[in-house]
Structure 1
Amino acid sequence: MHHRSRSPRLLGVAIAAVLGLGLGVPSGTAAPAADTDPVPGLVAGSDTDAPQLVTGLAERAAGATPADAARAHLAAHRDRYRVDPAQLVETGTERAADGRRTVRFAQRHGGIPVFGAAYLVHLTGEGDAQRVESVGGKYFTGLTAPTAQSVPDEALRRLALGSVEDPAAREGATAEDHGLVVLPGGTGRLARHFTVRGTDAAAWGAKAREVFVDATTGQVALAHDVRAPYRAEGPAAAATGAAAGLEPATGTAPDVHGNPVRVNLGRLPDGTYQLTDLTRPATITVYDAQGREELDFRGKMPADARPAASPTPDFPASAAATGAANAQLNAAAVDDFYRDRLGRQGIDGRNGPITAVVNVTSFGEPYRNAAWDGRKMVYGGGSAKEYPFAVALDVAGHEMTHGVVENTAGLVLRGQSGALDEAIADYFGNAIEVTAGGLSMDDPRAALLGESLCRTGTPESCADRRLDDRRSTVDDYIGVAADIDSSGVHLNSTIVGGALWDIRRALDPLTADRLVYRALTEYLTPLDGFVDARNAVLAAGRSMGLGRAQLRTVAGAFDAHGIKEGWQRRIGVDSRVLLGDIPSGLIAPDVANGRWVAATSEHGFGGNLGVLAGTVAGSAGPVALSPVDGRSHGWPATDGTTAAWVAQGAIAGGAWGSEVLARPIDGGPVRSLRRGSNQMVFDVRVSGGTVAFRVNDFTTHRTLPALSLNGAPAVEIPLPDGHDATDLTLRGGLLGWTETWSAGERTVYAPTVYSIATGKVVAQYVLDGATATRADQTRLAGDRLLWVETPEDRSKGGSIRSGAVDGSGVTDLLTGTAADRRDITGLTVSDRAVTFGHAFRWPGGAVKNAELPKLWQLPLAGGTPERVSCNRGGQYAPVADRGTRVLWLDATAGRTDLVVRERAAGTC
């Protein structure tokens, strides 16, 4: 997707393991020596016995078809590949221009698709002379996940919708059910796959969300954004070409600069003309949205949509404002590049029709973007500052290349695999423009993407990205959580895109284009990351017959951008890792008195979550606290002696539900404190013999606090009708929460203190509705209740306020100002310090590590905040221990780790 200025607001589940299932060939810090082979002969797989890549083969493989030969080869060498051919389903055979065939297999477990699992076999020759040249991909051994769903369909659908935490995004959203899938890793995880679409374009943009809900526990196991899958909504989607009675014709239409250009048209039976090119193997049709909302075309084609049309073969001058002629010419140029230069038959490889929509808007304002939605290009209609987005050939090439990626490697739009998708789209978008324009690779404009869009300004100032920015993994990787740019798919794309562009500068451009295309179509699989891309390009180079010196040049380009095995370990951090590769950045850990608890999975997103406990000193653990009972265990809390958490899955009688469990942190019997169906539990808290939590009941639609005293069954605390509780906090004999209720058209927020001994509210600070603020993140510390206040109009930054637990008054610990427009997240307190996450609200544009959430700390009595850590990436879900010690989830190193610091770093 072309990325202008976007900061996605949808929250997702941060599954770092999706980004790291592949294992690259080890590399040193220097380029390969002259006498070494830079192409790996064997790359081991990660979390599987099957290799990621085996090259240098020349083994005979007989079979009536390439698929038969490939399957026979895998069966004959099960000791080498550890692949069960019975689990493989052929998904297609790609034939290269030189006759090579790539057979793609998808993996099934008990007949159910395994997410992202694709194994590839490359063959040369024909018939009995066929030989296997290389084998690789991602095939997951050891899968024993159940194949029978236990949570009802409707409950899973509601949970998929509920995974979208932004109310504006969730309003009116729908969940399309795609059936069961097995998430790989370890023994695997049975999940139901939904595509969630929303109606709020500001929240969703040109995206949908793929959500995978555990079919045995009801937990959201994986969620990632995608380009909105295409849905035809009427005959317009097919009303092109001969089916619509069109006859080929030619005419003229003005480009965006008003110059008449020759276009190919379709003549309708009534004598009018539409912008449909029938002269090509892949028919090209351009639709004019006539200023309609981008939302109307996102992932669908409205039934009343029509191609750009004219009563005569010469379109009027007014058509220049839409960019329709540019859209047709650029689509033809991209199709020619792939067809003539790389031998590809259209975007889908089967000469399927090519469709573009121009002249869309967004809420009545210019739509400053272009997007591929799974079937077509959608272009913004321009503004006083920018031409219609269809004008830029590199943008058109970028969007159409997304279609090529979807029909070949199918890279998942998340983290490293998503950044690789964007990098390949950038590479070919620029390569197409440079080739068509006859530019030298040394031309300053060659590496710029979107430089021709602006009506004013220099190409450099107008360009959205540039492929010669010299970014590397170790120095420049932006560590973000899943809710920002799908874990950085645009933010980190030029790291790989720059390496590919350097290869194009160093080699003959045609050779480089064929090399990258072969790597994409014959070697890459959906979950591949940066190092996998390096290995794929090198393996493709060997298969093309590149010489040793050329291959060393390719390897050197990846080295220069830090794309080598183990790059994540070379990013400097000042924190200490307690637990690596946490699969979810949304499930906070907890700590007390030097003992921590966290929810994780032994095998990334494959396998249920379990609760582990360890010591900050590292002298014990981590040890498993939760039982292995087929359920998912998470949302843990501890006071250093007792741990409590939530188990989701089958409960008594086989119904699905939630259960609150507790046990001594040093081991002992597991106690059940609350069990119920058709409900969710949040905000588990522990203090002494008391366990508190919130219960969200799907039947009553109420969210109420509940208490368990000394191991007794939990009892809900009643609230007035229409009142709900959020942000639970527990310390000693006091329980706190933010109470909310509706008063007319506004929501009232009231930080509240409740005495467990008396069973009464002892303090409640009702926010003044005239100030239009909201409160959340209530935390008890000593004799004070702390909370965060944020202006609804976001005119200034958030404030941290403190109220006495007896209701006697409020003081400010940190006051938000218009100059310091910060978002405060993850408030946590100890006996001495207040720690909080602080992210500036950037006004669009490039996201930098410096702008991601960072942790700050100030004394409990107030003072000047200091940085907790100088780690450059995102810092999330902090929890305070004694004194100034803080644990948090850190995304700096390209994954999410549980880390600790004993004291604030101060100034970074």
Structure 2
Amino acid sequence: MSPHIANRRALTATVTAIAAAALIGGGLASGASAQPAAEETPTAAPAKLSASQRAELLRDADAAKAQQAKELGLSAAEKLVVRDVVKDRDGSTHTRYERTYDGLPVLGGDLVVHETKSRETEGVTKARAGALKVDTTRAKSAPKGSRAVVWAASGTPRLAYEKVVKGTKKDGTPSKLHIVTDAATGKKIFQWDTIHTGAGHTQYSGDVELGTKQESSGFSLTDTGRGDHKTYDLKHGQSGQGTLVAGPDDEWGDGTAANNETAAADAHYGAGMTWDYYKTVHGREGIKGDGVGAYSRVHYGNSYVNAFWDDSCFCMTYGDGQGNAKPLTSLDVAAHEMTHGVTSNTAGLIYSGESGGLNEATSDIFGSTTEFYAKNTKDVGDYFIGEKIDINGDGTPLRYMDKPSKDGKSKDDWYAGIGSIDVHYSSGVANHFFYLLSEGSGKKEINGVQYDSPTADGQAVSGIGRDKAEKIWFKALTTYMTSNTDYAKARTATLDAAKDLYGDGSAEQKAVDAAWAGVNVKAAKKKH
């Protein structure tokens, strides 16, 4: 736990149920870990920036954006908008920009400029290559409730209209569906939902520490050591922020769902562990990297069997499960959902098609690694997702990273057309890749859990360890992936990340290549 938490206390909770995997994290309770000893952090890894240091970098980038656009050869109609910046330990910077054209947002126009310590440009990663030339005369004719945009994420760049349709799905999950139509023909080009959902429920065992704040009349679930992250009680409502969870003492919950504070305690713990993971392992303080906490909402709706991240409120929301008896507030669920926020504020992977599968996989990957990081000995870390929630009713995990198809729907390997299936199942390809990169193929036991990972081509793959694999994926996400990255581009992004971190032609870079081949994502054949 972070050493600068204000009021932290041991929570006496046998916590009801589940997902403690998350809650638990990489415990070493039983079985030998396949992980090698941690090595010195590469100089190309992200540096730990304070909120003020990051803000200064953003100000510098904003001041130089016009010159940067000129150096990139953008037309007079194109402007850059600074979105994020990553600084490596060696002083290199990677500045992420959105783009506008004739004042209109360019969807799929994002790019990342890579500069050396001496501020010399050494490369640019673009969601779309080539110049933009779009007729925007229809921009002012956007239908009511829509906005004019330039669509450049796929096909020929063109003027389009984007409309956000808000609603509620059958299970009670809110929906914010973005629908993009061609301005000239009125035909739908693309759609995606910005509400990202997952599942899990809490039955944690053991005592955990929470970051809290002493108030005039007691305490509240306000984590002063982690950006003032707060946890609110919706009291079974489905709108608004809810009521800040507070009490006369610094004890929260009793480990049962019957106690209203238990779900809040579990959600608060999950948020704290996710914050610590990103800050300690990746040098990112908070979801946006700005040192500001998000907030959590518990007790959403009635018998709502889900949890979701909403970037518009910058918050996590948890239902109480079937019969309001099993709150979905496990650590792996919390880390999974909040990682959607990290992805939204970095690569911005569109939540549809292959980029949507990569978005989901990123949340699974860092949900799992956060679980390992937590080292709660009551429930060791593993490469399963939602293994404690029992949504299937037979004790099996929601998803498997070593062999995703074991859930009956996810895919082990890439194939043409995989982008047309549900993103929760196309994510299996990247989940499988990450497992192979971390642990390798074949049978093995890790922390007392049995795995048996196959490969698409039948060739054995040797893992490089989770410590290196998670750093490669994070660097690829924050430095080289863009909004429309597909599996082929993800392969290139991770190869570039491995090169930066461990060297061109290094064993780690070769392992990345082999792991992608293991899930049928290979280099494109050169045309002669």
TM-score normalised to structure 2 length? 0.72
The answer to whether the aligner puts 1:389 opposite 2:328 as a matched pair is yes
Contact 1:140/1:185, CA 8 A, preserved across alignment: no
> Hey, what does 1:137 align to over in structure 2?
126
> Hey, what does 1:833 align to over in structure 2?
none
Aligned-residue offset at 1:149: 2.0
Q: Deviations over 1:246-269 (max 9, x none)?
A: xxxxxxxxx855866443333444
Question: d(CA) in 2 for partners of 1:213 and 1:193?
Answer: 7
The answer to whether the aligner puts 1:93 opposite 2:85 as a matched pair is yes
Contact 1:385/1:454, CA 8 A, preserved across alignment: no
* 1:351 aligned residue (271, 283, 291): 291
> Hey, what does 1:448 align to over in structure 2?
384
Q: Deviations over 1:855-881 (max 9, x none)?
A: xxxxxxxxxxxxxxxxxxxxxxxxxxx
Question: d(CA) in 2 for partners of 1:141 and 1:218?
Answer: 25
Pairing of 1:590-669 with structure 2 (within 5 A): none
Contact 1:274/1:308, CA 8 A, preserved across alignment: yes
> Hey, what does 1:535 align to over in structure 2?
492
Pairing of 1:360-371 with structure 2 (within 5 A): 360-361=300-301, 364=302, 366-371=303-308
* 2:233 aligned residue (271, 277, 288): 288
- Structure 1 unaligned regions, length at least 5: 1-63, 158-174, 230-254, 568-908
Aligned-residue offset at 1:446: 1.3
> Hey, what does 2:164 align to over in structure 1?
195
Q: Deviations over 1:202-257 (max 9, x none)?
A: 1773321101233344333332222179xxxxxxxxxxxxxxxxxxxxxxxxx855
What RMSD over aligned residues (CA atoms) do the two structures have, in Å?
3.5
- Pair 1:549–1:400, CA change in 2 (3 A): same
Q: Deviations over 1:46-88 (max 9, x none)?
A: xxxxxxxxxxxxxxxxxx956788986885686xxxx558624
Please tell me the residue identity of whatever aligns with 1:226: T
Question: d(CA) in 1 for partners of 2:515 and 2:196?
Answer: 34
Pairing of 1:286-685 with structure 2 (within 5 A): 286-292=231-237, 296-297=238-239, 301-302=240-241, 305-315=242-252, 317=254, 318-319=258-259, 322-361=262-301, 364=302, 366-374=303-311, 375-383=314-322, 387-390=326-329, 392-437=330-375, 446-454=382-390, 461-469=395-403, 477=415, 479=417, 487-505=421-439, 506-546=463-503, 548-565=506-523
The answer to which of 183-192 and 494-503 deviates more is: 183-192
Pairing of 1:710-721 with structure 2 (within 5 A): none
Aligned-residue offset at 1:431: 0.7
> Hey, what does 2:30 align to over in structure 1?
none
Please tell me the residue identity of whatever aligns with 1:345: E
- Pair 1:212–1:186, CA change in 2 (3 A): closer
- Pair 1:136–1:478, CA change in 2 (3 A): closer
Q: Deviations over 1:645-668 (max 9, x none)?
A: xxxxxxxxxxxxxxxxxxxxxxxx
Aligned-residue offset at 1:141: 3.0
1:121 is paired with a residue of what secondary structure? strand
> Hey, what does 2:38 align to over in structure 1?
none
1:526 is paired with a residue of what secondary structure? coil
- Pair 1:98–1:433, CA change in 2 (3 A): farther
- Pair 1:544–1:223, CA change in 2 (3 A): same
Q: Deviations over 1:391-440 (max 9, x none)?
A: x221111111111000000000001000000111111100110122279x
Question: d(CA) in 2 for partners of 1:561 and 1:343?
Answer: 30
1:141 is paired with a residue of what secondary structure? coil
Pairing of 1:75-154 with structure 2 (within 5 A): 84=75, 87-91=78-82, 92-125=84-117, 129-149=118-138, 152-153=141-142
1:544 is paired with a residue of what secondary structure? helix
Q: Deviations over 1:2-53 (max 9, x none)?
A: xxxxxxxxxxxxxxxxxxxxxxxxxxxxxxxxxxxxxxxxxxxxxxxxxxxx
Q: Deviations over 1:66-119 (max 9, x none)?
A: 6788986885686xxxx5586240424322344320022333332322211122
Aligned-residue offset at 1:148: 2.1
1:408 is paired with a residue of what secondary structure? coil
Question: d(CA) in 2 for partners of 1:456 and 1:497?
Answer: 20
Contact 2:177/2:194, CA 8 A, preserved across alignment: yes
Q: Deviations over 1:254-311 (max 9, x none)?
A: x855866443333444x1432111133x11211122233xxx24xxx34xx2122223
Higher helix fraction (1 or 2): 2
Contact 1:474/1:562, CA 8 A, preserved across alignment: no
Aligned-residue offset at 1:334: 0.8
2:106 is paired with a residue of what secondary structure? strand
Aligned-residue offset at 1:550: 1.8
The answer to whether the aligner puts 1:264 opposite 2:211 as a matched pair is yes
Question: d(CA) in 1 for partners of 2:493 and 2:205?
Answer: 44
- Pair 1:288–1:550, CA change in 2 (3 A): same
- Pair 1:509–1:205, CA change in 2 (3 A): same
Please tell me the residue identity of whatever aligns with 1:194: K
- Pair 1:179–1:272, CA change in 2 (3 A): farther
Aligned-residue offset at 1:354: 1.9
The answer to whether the aligner puts 1:278 opposite 2:224 as a matched pair is yes
Please tell me the residue identity of whatever aligns with 2:211: N
- Structure 2 unaligned regions, length at least 5: 1-58, 440-462
Question: d(CA) in 2 for partners of 1:450 and 1:85?
Answer: 50
Please tell me the residue identity of whatever aligns with 1:498: H
Please tell me the residue identity of whatever aligns with 2:366: F
- Pair 1:138–1:257, CA change in 2 (3 A): closer
The answer to whether the aligner puts 1:210 opposite 2:149 as a matched pair is no
1:462 is paired with a residue of what secondary structure? coil
Question: d(CA) in 1 for partners of 2:90 and 2:287?
Answer: 20
> Hey, what does 2:39 align to over in structure 1?
none
1:202 is paired with a residue of what secondary structure? coil
**Structure with the greater relative contact order (CA < 8 A, sep ≥ 6): 1 or 2?**
2
Question: d(CA) in 2 for partners of 1:222 and 1:100?
Answer: 36
Q: Deviations over 1:309-368 (max 9, x none)?
A: 22333346453674111111111111001001110010111112221111223xx4x211
Question: d(CA) in 2 for partners of 1:345 and 1:132?
Answer: 26
- Pair 1:328–1:97, CA change in 2 (3 A): farther
Question: d(CA) in 2 for partners of 1:86 and 1:146?
Answer: 11
- Pair 1:221–1:430, CA change in 2 (3 A): same
Contact 2:252/2:262, CA 8 A, preserved across alignment: no
Higher strand fraction (1 or 2): 1
- Pair 1:309–1:319, CA change in 2 (3 A): farther
- Pair 1:114–1:86, CA change in 2 (3 A): same
> Hey, what does 1:52 align to over in structure 2?
none
Please tell me the residue identity of whatever aligns with 1:89: L
Contact 1:143/1:186, CA 8 A, preserved across alignment: no
1:208 is paired with a residue of what secondary structure? strand
Aligned-residue offset at 1:388: 1.7
2:349 is paired with a residue of what secondary structure? coil
Question: d(CA) in 2 for partners of 1:178 and 1:268?
Answer: 44
- Pair 1:67–1:86, CA change in 2 (3 A): farther
Contact 1:370/1:389, CA 8 A, preserved across alignment: yes
Aligned-residue offset at 1:456: 11
Pairing of 1:754-765 with structure 2 (within 5 A): none
Question: d(CA) in 1 for partners of 2:326 and 2:137?
Answer: 53
Question: d(CA) in 1 for partners of 2:232 and 2:396?
Answer: 27
- Pair 1:384–1:455, CA change in 2 (3 A): farther
Aligned-residue offset at 1:468: 0.5
Question: d(CA) in 1 for partners of 2:161 and 2:482?
Answer: 22
- Pair 1:76–1:367, CA change in 2 (3 A): closer
Contact 2:412/2:428, CA 8 A, preserved across alignment: no
